[in-house]
Amino acid sequence: MTFETLICSSADLIEGGKGIRFPLVAGRDDATGFVVRFDGIAHGYLNRCAHVPVELDWAPGEFFESSGLYIMCATHGAIYTPDTGYCSGGPCRGSRLRKIGIIEKDGQIFWCSDDYVNPVLV
């Protein structure tokens, strides 16, 4: 069963700006996902570098490098294309971030669970 979980208002996610983090369960582990806006579209990923499983942002929500064209791992310097999650430079070149399904409707952004990422049960 797939769940749609509200992340934020569409207006809160600014093109090339700070990403918005959200809690989830990845496999059996508590983790975070994030959503960023790039080329007008919201893209979501598991907040885990493809090289070593550490969170990408150097401060909460700070995922883009200075040009705003790439998501960058604060620990290893790997750079990822925001629309595909493909690693185009750094120690994990050719790998990719784990995509999380995002739906934007009625002025809201939701993430979709799948066989690996699920909402945190309270």
Domains and CATH numbers, the chain: 4-118 (2.102.10.10)
* pLDDT at 11 > cutoff 90: yes
Q: For residue 10, what pLDDT is reported?
A: 98
Average pLDDT over residues 84-109: 95
Q: For residue 24, what pLDDT is reported?
A: 97
Rounded to two decimals, what is the model's pTM? Answer: 0.95
| CA–CA distances in Å: residue 60 to residues 2, 33, 63, 64 | 27, 12, 8, 12
At residue 77 the predicted structure's pLDDT band, cuts being 50, 70 and 90, is very high
Helices and strands (H, E) in the chain, number of each type? 0, 10
Which neighbouring-strand residues pair with 61?
A: none
Q: For residue 53, what pLDDT is reported?
A: 87
* pLDDT at 106 > cutoff 80: yes
Q: For residue 3, what pLDDT is reported?
A: 86
